Structure formats: structure tokens, C-alpha cells
Structure 1
């Protein structure tokens, strides 16, 4: 059952109103009165529908007809949004065409803009859009007629409305205390610290409890305890989940404990993996946590645990599970049953997340009603956390009463499979957070994700659009993400604090909230075993695998005529399976995801994916990450709605010039495309591009023409200076929003230092990391002089935190390097600067913590010039100092030889 009604609709329809009122659209409509009339009619009718959304959301709880009406309206909202996006894209195309023609032909400047309305492409577009508008208005009229039979009231503000104005919070709640688990913690630690095992092998401690009771939290609590830290030679944590496969789990364990030491390939069979795992565990006392184990097959478990007995005595495995039969199969020690929290402990969890403290001392008027709310959490800490997050910052008694008395509590859990307290927390989310959260249902259970990628995906889907705001979309995305985090819908990953994940029950909640709109192939059996992608599906994801992609799509879409399928690593003749995408041709998201145990093997779904691209003409997000492709078809340029294109880790050599037709593109990721030589001839039309990720593209020859037109660009990880006219540094001047990390490659191609000055790097205060790279060694005095001038002109802003200089051919460094004004610089490296005879004077940088100097072969003496002016202690914050491959270094004049000044007080 889907219960998202208003989740997408209020935010989505408000977005439609904004688009209908946009100046670009209004200007375009002036050229066709019939289309203008149709859109005005659409806007008026939408207002009638929008007025009853709150009432519809309340009534859909018990009225299936209202719920079905909302589902239809939701699908319609997507379709009209696509049409409005076509209008916006066409308006932008005409604007760019006029600018280009006016710039290249003075005659065009004399031709009125209105004259372009009679061009064949314009006439063709208008005819097509009139037809679409006629159909869409007829469809909307039918929706309105259905509404009239549902007795929906206008302007009926639901109880949830007061919670939607809650200010965004950036507080981090993952580090809050763990309440009510001290006895449980001590009991598990006592078992861990005991030596030996009753059967002579590794001891296995099963922790069993219902979902949301805190099994994983308890295991993490124990895992990170100081007493446990020093007791084992190695520790590792593996999330198993429901998709149990002995080979997959074995590979995951091996990768987690042998990073950088064991070579794991996609061709390793189970026996080879277990041999390698035994080598890693042999004669070591280890602690392994197998979190969320569901497998009840004794033979499979026996196969998995074979390598573990080579460990030293005292080795332990903790298994968390919801299933008692699992614990009886795996356990060598008695099962530890984790009970629900006491009311007092639950109240502490709830108050910590709602009031920021573990008691009600400062808000006694809320204690009694808080106790009643907590009783409805039934001792589940996850429920107490999410409800507490819902009420965070709300101190009015009426707000808490609304939560306690909400009708959502009354829906039986069996009707949705979702704990009522979690359902309620979702119900009270602001509408803009509801659709962002529901979108996360594309992520499989236990999937680790980065904040940056999720924000870029939200942005591509149009979830971060705001009118009349000075904030950037990425800033709104950060606020939304942190708000979901503070409400415990998202939590930091226990192993890598830079990554995030969702609790299994929260993942179920996201799937339930998304309904048919989002389809994740990996999760299809978790909520509804019969669930399949439908015509209403707009967002699609799956886990990439090397060989089994074809069988996955066959299962999901019930595809016939699969012939000559070989599961041997060879090619398949089953490409007809993707014909199933005829049913989901309105997809906005095509998102393959990495499996947890991925070793970087390419996916062989390439031919299928590229073949269906023309059918998926409404895509906003397209990822071909690590697909084994050599080229991208020209048809990619027809995906005019596309905002996010990920080609990272592919083998492409060129991007087709048709990419320049993707006027709406916001993110282009070609990181680690080692073979990529050329982006495209001209990128000047990509005026909405905000993030160009090109790290690791070592074969890239130069930047495209008209880079200076990309005024929205925020991320430019690498700027490759070319030899041809138009690819020089001066193009950076207009890119005023650049931030984060920036690399300049092939600086030897700069022939005039004025080009470096034109880049105006000093004005770009949001760039915090800078790498300057020259390729090759030069003895040409003229070129050496140019390189010295270029480096001098590339003085960055004083906010810089990290600077790396590679291959610089000058004989000395400019004065700005080491200037005290660079007070934020913490990391500085010089590599292969072979013509320099003196080290730069960097001793007076106040916050410099890391300094590396390598392959400066003409350095013979290090002295006072290295330390600085001599008036203050040099290197006051330096912790790490590395010298490497200074082959002619003879003398280091120590500190204090001429002045009584110490130095390096923090060097370690």
C-alpha cells in the first residue's frame, strides 16, 4: 500500500506553479496564443486540485478511492512537469541559438527575436506541443471530475501542516548516548574477553531481537569499547542482510580485513576466496561481526564458517539476527536475547532527540504527554529516536498532542508492514523532505552512500528548486540531508564516518512511502514479493553485477524469448530482455549501484543499456558507472531532460559532440576515464552545468571551446591546458563560483603568462585545494622564464588549505609561496621541481601541518631561507615533514646556529 499522497504532490504542484510563472516560459508563450491559452487553463484547473490535497491526504488513510485518485494525480504531475521542462528547454535552445548567431554574424543582431517564431523547428515544436497540451488538459479534466465525486474539501489544513515549517537542523544525533544497554554491553563484553571455546574452535555469540530493538547499536557499542579494542589482533564488521550468498559474504569479509594485502578478482571461486581468507586469519585472534544474518540453511552456514577455525584461541564472532532459528544454527554460546528498552530508558532516548537532553527538567509541561507517546514506541529505540526527531524544537503542548492523537496510529501494522511510530514520523515530515526521503528507497538495504552524491541526485530530480532565494541548490540539499539525519531517517555508517546508511526498517518505510514511483530491483521482495516496475515507475535502480544482470531483468519483467544465455563470462544473445522498458518509458532515473563486495569489474550490461537509451527520453539521471563501454552514442544528446550523467570508470575515448545539446545538464562525471582524450568540441551550450568531475583523466588533451560560458560551474576538478587557441587559462575568469579542489594540468602549454593572470585565481576564495602540474623537464631558458611568470600569476586566494606543485621548471619560487597571509594553509607539497636550487621560505605559515619535498635534485643546502624571517618560531604547527630523493643535498644548517630560536615544536 502506498501512502504518499501529498508527499510528492504538494511540493511537485507548487513547483509546477513556479514553472508556469517563469519569465522564460511566458516569453516563449507570447509566440503562440493557443499554447498560452492551454497553459492558462491548466494552471487554473491545477489550483482547484491543489486546494483539496490536505483533505485528500487525511481521507486516503481509510478511503481507497481517494488513494487511487492521488496516485493518478501523482503520475499526472510527473507528466505535466515533463511537458513544462520541454517548454523550458526549447526556450533555452532558442536563446542560445540567438546568442551564438549574434556573436558570429553581425547581421543577426539586426533581426528581431520575434522573427525566429516562423522558423521550421519552431513551427514543428509548436504543433507538437499543442497536441500534447490538448491531451494533458483532457486528462486533467477527467481527474477533476473524479475529484468532484470524492467529497474533498478545499483549504483543509491537515494537522501535519504546523510541523512543515520546522527550521532545518544540522545537529548530529548519531553520537548521542546509548540508554538502557549497560547491562547488555557488559554481558557481551564478558563473553568476548573469555578465552577458549567449549568446542575448541571460534566462539559464536548470537544476539537476537526484533527489528528496531537495537541489536546493531549494541554490537557497535561493544565493538568500539576500549577493552575490546586491545584484546583482538584484528576486528572486522560485515553486514550480511537477507541476500545470503556464501561466496559474496566470504568475499566481503576478505575485502574488509585484507584491504591492500589480498588480491581479490571477479574470477575467484569460493575455494580460492576461502584459501585467501584462511591466510589472513591464520594464527590471529580476531573479532568478526556478522550483522543482520537471516540465513537458515545449515549447510550454507557450515560452508561459510570453514575458514574461521584457523584463528587463534579466543577468536569470537558476533551474529545479530531477528530469527531464533538462525541463532540456533550458528551459535556455539547461548543466544543472547535483546529485550525492548524499559519505559524509563525509552523516555531518555525520546527526550534526548526531542529536547536535546535526557530528561524533562526544563519542560515539565511536556513530560506526561511525552510518557504517553513513548509507550506507543513499545520499547523500540529506533521508534523513540524518530518520534523524538519529529518533535525536535517543538515545545508547545498542542504539537505533542497532535502526534499522540493522530489517526495514523490506528492503521494496523499488518496493512503496511510498517511500525506505526515510523509511519507517523514520515507523515509529519515537511513535503519537501518527504519526496527526498522516498527517493532513498532506490538504495538497497545496508547500502552505504555519500552525502554529496545523494544531493546531486536530488538536484537532478528537481527536488531542490527554490524561488526567490540567494542560496544555491546544493546548500538546500545539504540542509535537507542534515534534517533527515537529525530526525534519524539517515545515520552515519559505523565503519566509515564519511558515509551514511539507513536502518532496515527505515528502508522499508522509504519503499512504502515511494510506492510504485521508485523501483529498486534488489528490494523488490522485501515489502511486496509481487511488486514489479509499472508504467507509473519513474525511478529505477539495481545492483551491478558482472554476469547476472540479464537474469535479473528477466525475473523482474517476466521477459519471454530469452535465447542462448550463457553464464560463463561470455557474451549474451539475450538482449531482448530490455524490451521490457517499453512499459517504463517514462523513467527519470536509471541508476546502477555498486555491490558491497565490488572489485571494480566492468558490467556487461552495456549493449542493453545503450540500446534502450532512445526509449528513455525523459531521463534526468543516467549512470553508466563502470560499464564496459568504449563510446557513447550520438543519441545521448537527444536526452534533453538529462541533468546527471555518470560515465566514471568507463573506457570511453571521446564524448560525442551531441553532448552539447544537453542544455539542462548539471553534473557530468568522467572521473577515472583513463582512455578519455576529448570531452567534446564545444561545451558553451551547457550553461546549467554545475559539476564537471574529471579526476584521473590522464589522457585528456585539452578543455573544450567556450568553457567561459559555464557561469554556473562550481566543481572543476581538473583544467587541462591545451595547445590550441581557446583552451587556455584565461577561460577561467568568468567561472566565479568554482569551489573545493582544482587541478591545472599541462601548464607547460601556457605560452603567455598573461593568460595565467587572466584566470584571476586570486579572486576565487572558495577554492581550498590547488594542484599545479607541469609535464616534462625543460632546459629552455625562455620556457623556464614563462613557467616562473605563470606560477607567479597563479597566486591563489588566501583561503587555500592545500597546495601541491608538480614538475615546475622554474629556478626559484615566487614570493607568495610561504607568505604569512596564507594563514589557512595546512598541507604543502613540492615534487619534481628539478631546476630549483633553493627551497621556498615556508617556515612562517602558522597552520602548516604537513610538508613534503621530493625529487628536487638541485637542492644542495637547506638553511635560513627555509625557516623564514627569523623573527618568530618557524613551523609552529608542523606535524609531518617528508624529504625524498634529494640526490645532491649536502648541508642542512640547523636552527639556532645564528639565532636562538627553536622550531618544529609539534613535529611527530
Structure 2
């Protein structure tokens, strides 16, 4: 299935070939015409890739052709990235010209003539292979499709009939939606209520239950059911609605104009209270929806439209002013079991097979509450009583079941097929992680940035801003679950079957290797090893882009071999690395963008060759408790965006930190000897700063960070927070502030008031001496989230809390006296917070745990 990612790779490489860096390098090296030839041939091949990806399962020859294209495009991307590496190297040499001889020697890999000849040879090899593949494309009868808008699998049309006795676990949902439909909503002529949820949840089945409910029959004289699917052309939707009108005469509409359609429909529904179901809506074009709505908004007051969709964006677009979306949840475990028994056994037969029921319990858990998954698996076992067959399905991937067009794989894969090409590799990368993991936007931004999945940033836009936008797209298409926006970051999970879908899609390119899945695909590019004993089998591989070693890598000779072979690595993870130092050859990984050494408790130093890694975007040294200091020359890491440090050094050379001109996020963890930071320098690019458990830290020049958006301080007991009486940082852009376990904190320092126009999230936790929120708190006009945890001496909130009109969420835990005063509706200070939409007050005296 990794072939589905090929189109996005082609687009990425072609875009890179057109970049200014590559154009300049090609002219200097005298290979401009060759690269233009490469780009043109790639564009020819890209034109037929979308059609080829749909047909490759029909032909082994076509599949092999696509695999060869994948290899040559990946090799071409390495060449393009090599030009970027060379440009960065030259920039460093030019920037530190005062020591140019030393720096040039430090970075040099070959003389210019040798480099030019080597690159020209590589480009010629690529062009020869591309030309051969371009000729071969005519053998397969492929069509040219320029944009990734083609839908691989189109869902069949739905109908309104359903037998309620065949539906399990949706009675409550049906009643809730019926209640929404029959109530009057502020004298609106037409109301729209969307049902939103991922594929396989049973949105259409629920809509059918509602459509056929007697209460709906009594309330709406005219009912219509339309399956919209991917076709939202106004003319076609109008025809479907006209044909769905009960007892209407079927007409030949071929010669009708749109004007005639809309007149005919308006005449039918004028003066009638109608109920219309628009099932399976995918189109996000607001203009088309507004056109349709304007035509049909002529019924009697109280007319309703029920929409089913997987897209939160569509739901937001279509719902009317006083209506809300109905977010459909997974079935309970009890309802899932009941549905499974119905699907797998004849009525009553389950009692004869207690052993099969036990296995069925485990199968049901794998289905994660998705009704379609439960039915798909249960139906595949119907009338089968062989225990081994049941165990085989329990121990196997759900995708290995025989799937028809109504199975769970097509249902979920349809959502994947609809993704724009730039989101497909982002989704596939989730397969590298275990199930049930809680992701953060901050971490995913590091991975997607390292793999080159993020589009170029716009002015004043950070990498995490771009990642946030892409994740919001995935959430809006119902790929992400438990989505929680915390202001400075967000967390989410993947439903188990959505994670399985990512694994299915990514197979052959992204792989997790463990004892259950020890086989490595020949063309794999991203590998996660879960066991040290499985490492040896990866030796033939040289084209890896991501390599994650098992926790506690303990074979240095093996590591040396990997680093010398896998020279195109973008990601290298060595968590809990067991040795005192890294091999010096790590400096040869010039494409490396993410180096993770967290919790390597024996690591005492990094080789100076690390500073050759001009492409490095993230260096994670969190938990390296024996690390004496950062290597000299850290300022040469001019692409470094994220630096996470645990070290014994007393201070950081001002020139080194100030020279990191790409640095956006800086985290200090357990730096016990550090006493001061940022005196006499400016850090204009820094967006987020975290200071955790730096016990000796006394002073931080916060005014050096002119564009700081996120600040987190915890367990820094000696830190001076006040910066002088009344001092503020003017024009501060701070959006998120977390203060945790700071016994010196009694009230908020005055200088935070400089963020009055920008601060959106404020968290104060475990500050046992914190006594008051300042009277100027209501000047924080942008504040949306306020969280106070385990601050027992905080007894009241400011009287002017009602001025915080943008405050949407308030959480207070572990503050016994304050919680009593804020008790819902009856507390003496309830009036101060009654205007807030979401209030969560825990009146128990038990301490709450807080994780940043």
C-alpha cells in the first residue's frame, strides 16, 4: 500500500527541484540543464501516477514499475537535499569567516571539482533511469491525472429503510436526535443538524432509525432521503431530492435547466414542513451548500435537515445558527458484544459455545466499538465453530479478513483516499508508534519537519503552527480521537482501527519490527526496532530515512556499522543509549534532522563532529544527567529549531546560543548547576521556553526573548520572578503560561501584564503559597483557559472576573476553600464565574496530579 504515498513524494521532489537553493547550486556546478531534464521527466511520470496507483493491484508488472519509480524518486530527493546541505555548509563558512581556515577544514568533505563530478554522475544516473521508466509508462495504458482529487473507492448509494431490531446500541442516540429535530428553534424556517463521526460508526444507520421513527412521521408531513456522497453538483442534488419526494411522478429531467429544477422543487416544498436527510456529505464548498440551502429554504417554520458526514468542517459549515452537531461515539463494550453475538451466531446458538464466546470477547475489544468492524468480523465467523478459526481471526489483523464493498477496510480507507496528497504521508507516519499512544502536536511537528512533510512556512508562522493546521485537518476528517486543545499544545489519540489503517497504508515504507513482525520489506525507509536481537537483519539496507533503535542500545560496533551505511538518515533515535560517548562518524550524517538521545544516563559528552550537522533541526538531550557540556561549535547548527537540554555545565556561552538563528523551542530539564540565562543577548526567534527542575537557577533575562509565545516554569525554587517592582515586558506576545511547583510564588508577577492582549492559557499548579490572583487579571482580555490546581491558600477570585469575556474554560482542583465558594449556583462567589461556558470545579480535598 505504500505506493499510495508516491504521488506526494513526486510533488515534493519536483517542488524542491524548483527551489532557489537548487537552481543556484545547479548553475554553479554546471548541471542546470540536467536538473531541468530531471524535473521535466518527473512531471511526465507524475501525471500518470494517480491512475497507476489505482490499477497496480491488477498487474505485478505495474507494481514493480511503481517500486522502481519510488526508488529513483527517493534517490533524486537525496541529491536535491545534498545541494541544501552544501548551501548550509557554505553559509556557516561564510558567517564565521574570521576563522575560515579552521571552519573550512572542519566541514570539508572533498574539493569542489570532485564534488561537482560526483554530483554530475549521480544526476546522469537518475536521468537515465527516469527516461527508461518514462518510456515504460505507455505499456500500462495509464491516464494523465494532474491533481490528487480522484476518489479510489466511491461508496454505494444508501436508502432509508432499516429494521430497528437489527440495530444495537443506538436507541439513546436516536432519541436524542429526534428530540433535537422536533423542538422549535428560535423561529427559524429551516434548521440543519449534522451527525459527525468516523467511518464505520453507523451514522447512516442512525439516520435511518431517526427517519423511520413514528414521532418524525407525525411531525413532518414531507420526508425525503438523499445520498449525496461525492456528488454535490447542484443540478444532480436537486434531481435526487425531487426523485425522493413520496408519491411524485418520475420525470425525465434530461432536458431541464437548473432554473426549472429549482422552480419544481420549491413548488413542491413551499408551505410544507419537511424533513430532509442528506446522507454521506463530503463536499466542503460553502458556495454550493449556500446555493442549495437558498433554494430549499421555503418550507414551513420548523423544517429540518439531518446531515451525516465524517468532516467536522462540513458540519460547522452546514449547521444553522442555533443548532449543534451531534458527535456520534463508539458503541459500549456491552453493546459491541451484543452486536457481535447477533452477527456470529444463529439466535441462541452462542450458549452452546462458551469457548468461542471467550475468544469473541477478545475480538470485540479489537474492534474498538466500531459497529461496522464488529459486524464485519462477526459475519465472517457466522456458522463457524472451529476454535482454531476463531483464534486465527483474534490473532490476525482485521484487514486480512475477506472484505466486500461494505467491509470495515473500504469504509475507513475511503476517508484515506479522500485525503489531499500532502496529508497522506503525515497519516502514514503514525504507524511508527504503538497503539493507544497519546500524541502531542509539539512532538509530531518534530517528526513531520524532519521527514520533510511540512509545507514551507509563511512569514511569522512557526513549524508548530503549520503542524497544528495539518492536524486540525486530520481531526476535521475524523482521523483523530480524544482531541484536546490545551492552548500551548494539543494532544490526541488514534482509534485502534485507524492506527491499523495507517499501518496497512504504510506497509513497505514505514515499519515497526518486533518479534511478532520480524520481517523487513526490501524498500523500507522508516524503521522502528523494538528488540536489540532483530537489528542484524537490517544490514543490507542503505536507504533508510528514519531509524529508531530499541531503548537501551548496547552494541556500539553495531551502531558504527549502521551509521556508516545509512548516510541518508533524517531521524536517529537512541533513547537510553548505554555508552559514555557517540561515535565520531555521526558527523557524516549530513542529512540528519532529528537526533534523540533522551535519558542516556551514561552519556558524558558529544563529539565535536555533531556540530557538522547543519541540517539538524532537533537535538534532544533530556535526562542525560552525566552530560558535562554541549560540544564547542554548537552555533554551527544553524537549522536547529528545538534544543532540549540536561547538562552539568554552569552557564551557556552567550555567543553560542545567540547564534542559533533558527531556534524556536528551548527546554532546560534538571540543569542543576545553571545559575543564569540570556544576560546581554537577544533571542528574537525563540517561541517557547521551558525551565524544569533547575534548582540553582536564580536569574533569567526574560526581556531577551522578544517573541516568546509559550513559557513554562516548574521546580525552579531559587528563580527570581519579579524582575523589579512594576516591571513589564512591553509588547509581549506570550500566549501560554504555566507556573508549577514554585513555593516562592504568592501572586502573579506584574511583568506578565505585558501580555494582556495575547495570553490565552494560564496554568498555576502546586504553588502552595499562592494566595491571590491580582486585580489586573481581568486586563487579560484574550484569556480563554484558566487552570488552577493544588493551590490551597488561594481563597477567592477577583471581583471583576466577569470582565474576562473570552474565558471559555475554567478548571480548579485541590483548592478546598475556593471550590466551596465557587460551588455551582449555590456558592457565594458562583456569580463571578457563571458566564464561563465550561467550568470544572472539584470540591474534594484530594490533591490532583498535573502533567504539563
Normalised-by-shorter TM-score class: 0.5 to 0.7
Change (3 A) 1:57 1:684: same
Distance in 2, matches of 1:156 and 1:55, equals 10
Distance in 1, matches of 2:336 and 2:547, equals 28
Change (3 A) 1:78 1:119: closer
Change (3 A) 1:792 1:629: farther
Change (3 A) 1:794 1:871: closer
Q: Is the 8 A contact 1:714 1:739 kept in 2?
A: yes
Distance in 2, matches of 1:701 and 1:604, equals 30
Distance in 2, matches of 1:319 and 1:672, equals 50
Q: CA deviation at 1:518?
A: 2.0
Change (3 A) 1:829 1:535: closer
1:688 maps to which of 630, 635, 639: 639
1:801 maps to which of 737, 744, 747: 737
Indicate whether 1:31 and 2:28 are aligned: yes
Secondary structure at the counterpart of residue 426 of structure 1: helix
Structure 1, unaligned stretches of length 5 or more? 165-178, 186-210, 215-287, 294-317, 350-373, 384-408, 526-530, 554-577, 595-601, 777-783, 855-861, 884-894, 896-901
CA-based RMSD of the aligned residues comes to 5.9
Change (3 A) 1:798 1:44: closer
Match of 1:181 in 2: 169
Match of 1:132 in 2: 122
Secondary structure at the counterpart of residue 82 of structure 2: helix
Indicate whether 1:62 and 2:58 are aligned: yes
2:354 maps to which of 318, 328, 333: 328
Q: Is the 8 A contact 2:768 2:790 kept in 1?
A: no
Change (3 A) 1:489 1:808: closer
Indicate whether 1:80 and 2:80 are aligned: no
Query: Over residues 117-142 of structure 1, what are the superposed CA-to-partner deviations in whole Å (9 max), with x where a residue is unaligned?
Result: 99963233222212222222222222
Distance in 2, matches of 1:419 and 1:76, equals 31
Distance in 2, matches of 1:740 and 1:461, equals 24
Distance in 2, matches of 1:73 and 1:469, equals 35
Matches within 5 A, 1:309-708: 328-329=354-355, 413=403, 419-446=409-436, 449-466=439-456, 471-492=461-482, 500-522=492-514, 525=517, 532-544=519-531, 549-550=532-533, 552-553=534-535, 578=536, 580-592=537-549, 602=552, 604=554, 608-651=558-601, 652-694=603-645, 697=646, 699-703=648-652, 705-708=655-658
Q: Is the 8 A contact 2:722 2:750 kept in 1?
A: no
Secondary structure at the counterpart of residue 643 of structure 2: strand
Secondary structure at the counterpart of residue 777 of structure 2: coil
Distance in 2, matches of 1:519 and 1:488, equals 24
Query: Over residues 876-904 of structure 1, what are the superposed CA-to-partner deviations in whole Å (9 max), with x where a residue is unaligned?
Result: 99956889xxxxxxxxxxx9xxxxxx989
Indicate whether 1:845 and 2:794 are aligned: no
Matches within 5 A, 1:777-792: none
Distance in 2, matches of 1:67 and 1:416, equals 26
TM-score (norm 1): 0.55
Q: CA deviation at 1:631?
A: 1.9
Query: How many equivalent residue pairs?
Result: 613
Query: Over residues 568-623 of structure 1, what are the superposed CA-to-partner deviations in whole Å (9 max), with x where a residue is unaligned?
Result: xxxxxxxxxx2x333211111112477xxxxxxx4545663354222211111111
Secondary structure at the counterpart of residue 8 of structure 2: helix
Distance in 2, matches of 1:334 and 1:853, equals 48
Q: CA deviation at 1:381?
A: 12
Match of 1:760 in 2: 704
Q: Is the 8 A contact 1:212 1:381 kept in 2?
A: no
TM-score (norm 2): 0.58
Indicate whether 1:92 and 2:88 are aligned: yes
Match of 1:769 in 2: 712
Distance in 2, matches of 1:843 and 1:680, equals 47
Secondary structure at the counterpart of residue 51 of structure 1: helix
Q: Is the 8 A contact 1:292 1:322 kept in 2?
A: no
Distance in 2, matches of 1:331 and 1:155, equals 49
Secondary structure at the counterpart of residue 160 of structure 1: coil
Q: CA deviation at 1:181?
A: 0.8
Secondary structure at the counterpart of residue 541 of structure 1: strand
Distance in 2, matches of 1:800 and 1:621, equals 29
